[in-house]
Structure 1
């Protein structure tokens, strides 16, 4: 069975079953990039971390991204942090622990 693309996951989450240029552009060029940037910032995913939404091991972050897309689609972004603050905090703690572990493993003097 083929893996579902992030775009298809987003379309399913926001219940978009049609395709037209305006809708596709809004999803591909505005909603998904904005949600990726917002979740990376809120959770603390560092640039160059090699992280991909939708990949195995990214379930919490992908869930947040899909929820953020839903809120954007419905023009309710201002309600996202209040409703997902706990999940954001949990994912942020995970990324802080990962970054601390990587810093401890790095050779001295680098």
Structure 2
């Protein structure tokens, strides 16, 4: 899957413009770093709830309202954080 194209689809961006693509790539990179921190693990964002959360964070970033993201997605953040805490624990045992 191509996360950049998935993001463009989510944002209904149908045009190809270098400046827009550069901005979206930067948003995706920042979103991955931010969500890795929030979730406490290095995550594969190409599928499932992880992909959905990443695309939603990017939507907030694109619209300059990331300050509202945590409150609106706290449940999803906590579910995924717990998932990765369990996976990390299982790897250590």
1:85 matched residue in structure 2: 74
Alpha-carbon distance between aligned partners in 1 of 2:45 and 2:57, rounded to the nearest angstrom:
13
Deviation at residue 39 of structure 1 after TM alignment: 1.1
Deviation at 1:52, TM superposition (A): 2.5
Q: From the two aligned structures, give the one with the greater helix fraction.
A: 2
* 1:6-53 deviation per Cα after TM superposition (whole angstroms, max 9, x unaligned): 11111111111111111011011x11101111111111114xxxx431
Q: Does 1:27 align with 2:27?
A: no
State the TM-score, normalizing by the size of structure 1.
Answer: 0.80
Shift of 1:90: 0.2
- Matched with 1:53 is 45
Structure with max Cα Rg: 1
TM-score, normalisation: structure 2: 0.93
Q: Which runs of 5+ in 1 are unaligned?
A: 105-110
Unaligned ranges ≥5, structure 2:
none
Q: Which runs of 4+ in 1 moved over 3 A?
A: none
